[in-house]
Amino acid sequence: MKPPFVTVIIPVYNDVRALEQAIPCSIRELGMITDQFELIIAEDASVDGSTGLVMEWAEKDPRVILIHREERLGRGSALTSVIRQARGEIICYYDVDLATDMSHLKELIAAIQNGCDIATGSRLLPESSITRSGNREIKSRGYNFFVRLLLKSRIKDHQCGFKAFNKDKISLILDTIQDRYWFWDTEVLVRGQKAGYRICELPVTWREGPGTTVRTGDIWKMGRAIISLWWNLHVS
């Protein structure tokens, strides 16, 4: 099978320390899969030096590409915008903290090569290995339960920041995705199912990153986002 042209997108906001590890690690892992790739850093108005770090890498390696925005418009908005610009026939994105073990990147890309329209890492499959505080685990499982209940999703874990797409298929539903922030991950999976796409969920090894918390206010936002998408799909 011919090695695919792969685009990897890492959305960042004030993540210069994480980028110091994420960029070389991504180049190394991608290089073991294909020599045809681009690594796009979707940088959302950072002020901590992230822009300069990526520019230094881009000067050394033309496969590293910086897309910088002067105004912070949100992670989901950045993903939608950069996917439209991506050249890869397979498009992946993952969180800059590399919470999902990068050894799974080959499996993620292979899933698309083997016919999946969307592939997503899952922390909630029996084979998955996760390290996370009990409080976050309860909230995550509750959130995913309500997404399955109200939005009739068949996916176990909607918010794992480790996904891949067939470029042609994701391009067909990009205009329907409305969320600009964290709910983008869930919406793309729900709309992909509605479009009849083949979605493959892969068990992963995942560890909670430092400073990641779920606040009470976030829970209300999650509930409103689920209800808003249900209304959009069934009423409007």
What secondary structure does DSSP assign to 132-188, as a single string?
Answer: --HHHHHHHHHHHHHHHHHH----S-S--SEEEEEHHHHHHHGGG----STTHHHHH
Q: Is 185 a catalytic residue?
A: yes
Radius of gyration from C-alpha coordinates of the chain: 17
Instruction: Mark 156-193 as b/e (b = at least 16 C-beta within 10 Å).
Output: bbbbbbbbbbbbebbeebeeebebbebbbbbbbbbbbb
Extended strands (E) in the chain: 6-12, 37-44, 64-69, 90-94, 118-122, 129-131, 162-166, 199-203, 205-207
Q: Which of 15, 95, 117, 185 is catalytic?
A: 185
Q: Strand 37-44 to strand 118-122: parallel, antiparallel, or no bridges (unpaired)?
A: unpaired
Q: Exposed, middle or buried: residue 26 (CB in 10 Å: 0-12, 13-18, 19+)?
A: buried
Residues classed as catalytic: 185
